[in-house]
Amino acid sequence: MENSVIAVFIELLMVMHIFTSFPYASSSLSSSCSSTNNNSDLLALLNFKSHIEKELLPNSLVVSSWNTNTSFCNWIGVYCGHRHKRVTALNLSYMELQGTISPHIGNLSFLRVLNLCNNSFYGPIPETVGRLRRLRVINLIFNQLHGTIPSSISHCKRLQRILLGQNHFEGNIPESLGNLTSLEILQLQDINLTGTIPSSIFNLSILRVLALNGNGISGGIPMDICHMLQRLEVVHLSVNPLGGQIPTSLCLCRNLKKLELMQNGLTGSIPRDIGCLSKLEYLNLARNQFTSKIPSSLGNLSKLVELQLSDNNLSGDIPPELGQLSNLRILDSGFNYLSGRLPENIFNLSSAVKISFMNTKNLSGNVPELSGFRLPNLRVINLLGNQFSGRIPASISNASMITFLQLAHNSFNGPVPTSLGSLRYLRTLNLQVNELTNDPSQRELQFLTSLTQCHQLHTLVLGENPLNGSLPKSIGNLSTSLETFSAERSQILGSLPKQIGNLSSLLVLEFVTNDLVGEIPSSVGNLRRLQKLRLLGNRLEGNLPNELCQLTSLGELLLDINKLMGPIPYCIGNLTRMLTISLSSNAFTSIPVSMWSLKNVWSMNFSVNSLSGKLPSDIGNLKLLITLDLSKNQLSGSFPGTISSLKMLKQLNFSENAFQGNIPTVIGELASLESLDLSSNNLSGIIPKSLEKLHYLKHLNLSFNMLSGPVPVNGAFENFTIQAFMGNYDLCGSSKLELPPCPAHSKSRKASFWLKYVVSPIAAVAIVASLLILYIKYWRNSKNLPVSSNLSSIKLGEILGATNNLSEENLMGTGSFGSVYKGTMSDGEIVAVKVFDLQVEGALTSFDGECQVLRNVRHRNLVKIISSCSNLDFRALVLEYMPNGSLEKCLYNLESKSLDILQRMNIMIDVALGLEYLHHGYSEPIVHCDLKPSNVLLDENMVAHVADFGIAKILAIYKSMTQTATLGTMGYIAPEFGSQGRVSPKGDVYSFGIMLMEIFTRKNPRDEMFVEGLNLRQWVLSSYRDRVMDIADSSFWINGIEEAKMTLLIMDSLKGILSSIMELALECSEDLPEERLNMIDVTIRLKKIKNQILQDQVRFNNQPYIVI
């Protein structure tokens, strides 16, 4: 939101500049131009046109209008001066043009305004732009430009506005920008800049707008910034790892209207004298580490419209002076450690649109009951997660425009006021986890009747309150827009009214753990959009109504712990979107065959019922099943062999039934299995040794069966106790299990003899012969080994000294062609030393290939080579050391803090930019061929660098593909490589798509669950869109925050973002190379998704579904 406000603000300034500074500039005023004066302009424009590749806007006339049949002054987007008929402005903004910017742009010597914003121009800004000595405005925001900001731009001494945001630049802010002393607006947001804010910026004494947000700038905010730049009106530095404190010179920026310092890693306290900024309208200090109290001087900022202080470590009371801010529209101090009472005058903020003190931990007392409670503009009140008590004031209804009222997780008590029904625009009402009750004189929950007047109600959450009343029939008159109705653990009595079926927009219906009785009304079948039905923990009875089968959107059905009975309806197989079905602790008698056709189900629990019969082979259809619990029933027969198809199964419980026969050996193929309980059945035979292959098995119970023979001893069986095997027929095994020893067999002794005296000697001879052949092959090849001479070399002795003679303590990891060691050079520099194992086939080629590639490659997101060492029998590269290790280690290390969604997105953008450079950075594309998380290294700022070019192939520009047979890692390689050995940049795009899925699901494509045709892409595709939240790694959005405290709106937004990510990953990993994107387009898409994440942070006022 902030970015768009700044963009619109600057765009308006620019348009005003064009049409006030140059009133004579008009295409309609042009006449036939003199070839003597403007022929260079014509040629420059025609050359510019030749660099435009596509017009993405339907029915665009830009290119067609640019022809020599008319004066170029009449061309679309071209503006000429009245006097000289020379081009003074080129405005092609929002035309959706694609191409590069022609260097001939520098020949438009009279150009004052260059506006190409919101197009798809890519490539660098030509250095020739420095010839435009009359240039006042350059606006290139929202394109795909890359490279560095050209230093030649500093030659344009008259420049007043530079707008280059939302592109793919890199490098530092040029020091030379300090020479542009006429500059008023500098907007460089979201373009991957690094380094520090250069001191030369202080030369720009008339600078009014400084926008550097969304970059990687560090080094703090210069303390004397306001000593030098006293005319600043807008400072936007949000989302940079700046660190440090707010400058003490802030009061000298007397004209400051907008100060945006969100997510800058700032520490210390908010300056006490910040109230000196009398013109300030917007102040955003959210998502930092500020401590101490909220300064009372903020009350002096009489023009303040927005105050964002959330997600800090602020403590103490809320200063009552904030109630003086009569123009304040947004007040958000959530996620701090504030205490005390809420000042009464906060409710005098007549301009307020939003007031949020969400999760400030220790705010207490009553919300004042004020007869003068008048907040005519208020839309949002969010007091979730505090210690407020007392009654909800009835006068809150005076704020008649409220759309979002969240009072959950407090200690409010007394009846829910029926005056809430006066809030006609209310969309979200969340009162869960309080001590609210019903009117004691009423049996029915009358406040629900009052809410029928809220015709826009979208979300109603009442759970964990002692309401103690029944649902009135009037709930059928609640808003037809209602999507969520949740009242778990709320002492709701009586039956579920049939009028519930009128709520046709419901997505979630939840009455968990109440005291509902009677049957489930057949009218529930009218809720055709319903996705989650949770009625567990009640006293519902009777059969399941067949109308339930009409809920074809249903993904979750929880009816556990009721008194339901009879057969499960056959039509249940119609619910093809079902993910979780749990009917445990009822009296159901049979499972229909159609149940086993629900191929998308992840969890199925029918335990503690009266089910009988045998398991059909169709159970093998449930290939996505993770949890299956049929325990405590009357099922019989043997286990079908098709159970081996349940490759994703983690929990399997068939205990306390009457199953017979052997334990199938194929259970050993369920590689993901973590818990297996087959206890209290009639199973016989031996315990299959194949179960030793279940490496993730943590819980095993085979007790009280009729098993015999030896208990396996390897794998997970090393950790199990006698409790897992007790009560069986004739088991034998280890003394640790208190079992009798197993008898020895002559066959075993004979096999041991052959192994020891025949097989072992033969194997030893074979190994020695193989080593001898390899040595001869190496000796022959080494005579003609090329030695890299294009890199600075280093002696072997220096390598050995830096790595402590390649000691184990210095070993960082081992790869396909050798090992990597941490080293400390004689000058103290810490490096990574990659030593190639010359006995591994391909290692020599890898070394020379890596030297060839890396000596000319320089990019922020590619690993930097420092030096090399090349002897007859030793090859090594000295690389830049990355202290945060590989992405693989960071992703799967359970001891480290989980990467949040924004970190993951930034890392994948870094990788995309690195690949984009390799594929499109110069005339001969470089194909990596082995992109995977272990080949992505993270520096101290968590910036990603693509590593390991030893197996890269350089493709001549006229070649579309080459062939190889030695590259890539299974799980990441493209289909055309695996089947035909074909390599192209599109193979890297495929690997990137797989890695994008892995980073956001935290599921390795080589996981043992991916067998028999199932792979990571198919797994993601099966859950794409509808169930994307189920496959995502939840650790990046929930980190110490209960899921229940996250609003459904936030979860919906997160689902949309994850869907966009998975959609992009699937497009990158299409089977056919020609259907995949290129890395330029991939980078654009990732940037847009990142912008959406950042916009949502502002939209939801920094509620932490994105944990930073």
Check if the beta carbon of residue 986 is closer than 8 Å to that of residue 649.
no
Average pLDDT score over residue span 248-277? 94
Sign of the CA dihedral 100, 102, 106, 108?
Answer: negative
May I ask the CATH architecture of the domain 267-372?
Alpha-Beta Horseshoe (3.80)
The DSSP result for 715-771, as a single string, is: GGGGG--GGGT-S-SEEE--GGGT-PPPPP-HHHHHHHHHIIIIIHHHHHHHHHHHH
Q: What pLDDT, on the 0 to 100 scale, is given for residue 788? A: 38
The 3-state secondary structure of 850-871, one letter per residue = HHHHHCCCCCCCECCEEEEEEE
pLDDT tops 70 at residue 546: yes
The answer for residues whose C-beta is within 8 angstroms of residue 850's C-beta and 6 or more apart is 865, 877, 948, 949, 950, 952
Cα separation of 565 and 230, whole Å? 78
pLDDT tops 50 at residue 226: yes
Cα separation of 1083 and 912, whole Å? 6
Q: What pLDDT, on the 0 to 100 scale, is given for residue 1021? A: 87
Top CATH class, 887-1108: mainly alpha
Sign of the CA dihedral 260, 265, 270, 273?
Answer: negative
785-881 fold? Phosphorylase Kinase; domain 1 (3.30.200)
The answer for residues whose C-beta is within 8 angstroms of residue 662's C-beta and 6 or more apart is 638, 683, 684, 685, 686, 688
Confidence of residue 978 (pLDDT cuts 50, 70, 90): low
DSSP reduced 3-state for 774: helix
Backbone angles phi, psi at 312, to 5 degrees: -130, -160
Residue type at position 212: L
pLDDT tops 90 at residue 1054: no
Task: Quickly count: other Cβ atoms within 10 Å of residue 1099's Cβ.
Answer: 14
The angle that helices 985-1001 and 1079-1099 make with each other, rounded to 10 degrees, is 20
Top CATH class, 532-744: alpha beta
The answer for residues whose C-beta is within 8 angstroms of residue 344's C-beta and 6 or more apart is 323, 368, 370
Check if the beta carbon of residue 165 is closer than 8 Å to that of residue 8.
no
Confidence of residue 762 (pLDDT cuts 50, 70, 90): low
For the chain, what are the domain ranges? 1-255, 267-372, 403-518, 532-744, 745-774, 785-881, 887-1108
Where do runs of H (alpha helix) occur along 337-438?
none
The answer for residues whose C-beta is within 8 angstroms of residue 975's C-beta and 6 or more apart is 990, 1071
Confidence of residue 757 (pLDDT cuts 50, 70, 90): very low
Confidence of residue 1056 (pLDDT cuts 50, 70, 90): confident
Of the ranges 92-96, 591-595, 771-775, which one carries the lowest mean pLDDT score? 771-775
Annotated active-site residue in 930, 948, 1081, 1096: 930
Specify the pTM.
0.68
pLDDT tops 90 at residue 347: no
CATH of segment(s) 1-255:
3.80.10.10
May I ask the CATH architecture of the domain 403-518?
Alpha-Beta Horseshoe (3.80)
Q: What pLDDT, on the 0 to 100 scale, is given for residue 767? A: 57
pLDDT tops 50 at residue 115: yes
677 noted as active-site residue = no
Task: Between 1100 and 779, name the one with better pLDDT.
Answer: 1100
Are domains 403-518 and 785-881 of this chain identical in fold?
no
Q: What pLDDT, on the 0 to 100 scale, is given for residue 372? A: 54
Average pLDDT score over residue span 865-875? 79
Backbone angles phi, psi at 350, to 5 degrees: -65, -20
The answer for residues whose C-beta is within 8 angstroms of residue 404's C-beta and 6 or more apart is 379, 380, 381, 382, 427, 428
Check if the beta carbon of residue 917 is closer than 8 Å to that of residue 834.
no
- Residue 170: name the closest of 190, 143, 194, 186 by CA: 194
Task: Quickly count: other Cβ atoms within 10 Å of residue 174's Cβ.
Answer: 17
Task: Between 845 and 279, name the one with better pLDDT.
Answer: 279
Confidence of residue 761 (pLDDT cuts 50, 70, 90): low
DSSP reduced 3-state for 844: helix
Cα separation of 711 and 841, whole Å? 43
Average pLDDT score over residue span 559-585? 94
DSSP state of 327: T
Cα separation of 1089 and 1060, whole Å? 7
